[in-house]
């Protein structure tokens, strides 16, 4: 496990939600202040607060935008690149965990627990390093 993957898991154990744990482990590489990354991803925890899309997966999307967006407010040209990157990373996460939905990962409604939060955080961080940061 790399230092940043371990840091993401450590962040979660320190009280960060899943999205914050991942985003804050890498935000400095994207030129974003840790406190800003923490605030931007707070509502993404607990599957966007509704057990929808996993917070760790949401953090992959946030980091993708931080890294790849051209920031051009009048004529953005990087949306397709961001979408393609996120599609690739989401596919890798789904291949490993069968879903990106928090409730399904946690086995809500009588299903089996597919992955712990720490496991999802670790998987997302590894995918960030393998795909986004390659």
Which sign, positive or negative, has the C-alpha torsion 113, 118, 120, 126? Answer: negative
- Tally of domains within the chain: 1
Domain of 87, in residue numbers? 3-132
d(C-alpha 94, C-alpha 44), whole Å:
18
Find out whether 88 and 131 touch, Cβ atoms under 8 Å: yes
Task: Provide the pLDDT for residue 133.
Answer: 96
Residue 56: CB atoms within 10 Å: 36
Q: Could you say which residues of the chain have pLDDT below 50?
A: none
Given this model, what pLDDT does residue 109 score? 83
pLDDT at 110: 83
Count of beta carbons in the 10 Å neighbourhood of residue 100: 22
pLDDT at 128: 98
Query: Which residues have CB under 8 Å from 25's CB, separation 6+?
Result: 4, 5, 7, 8, 11, 125
Burial degree of 96 (CB within 10 A; 0-12, 13-18, 19+): middle
pTM of the entire predicted model: 0.95
């Amino acid at each position: 496990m790399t230092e940043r993957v371990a840091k993401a898991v450590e962040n979660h154990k320190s009280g960060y939600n899943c999205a914050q744990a991942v985003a804050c482990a890498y935000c400095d590489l994207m030129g974003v202040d840790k406190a800003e990354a923490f605030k931007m991803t707070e509502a993404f925890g607990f599957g966007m607060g509704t057990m929808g899309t996993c917070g760790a997966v949401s953090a992959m999307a946030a980091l993708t935008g931080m890294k790849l967006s051209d920031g051009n407010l009048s004529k953005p040209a990087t949306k397709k690149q961001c979408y393609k990157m996120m599609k690739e990373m989401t596919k890798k996460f789904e291949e490993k965990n069968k879903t990106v939905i928090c409730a399904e990962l946690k086995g809500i409604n009588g299903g089996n627990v597919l992955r712990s939060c720490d496991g999802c955080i670790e998987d997302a961080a590894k995918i960030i390093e393998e795909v986004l940061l390659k």
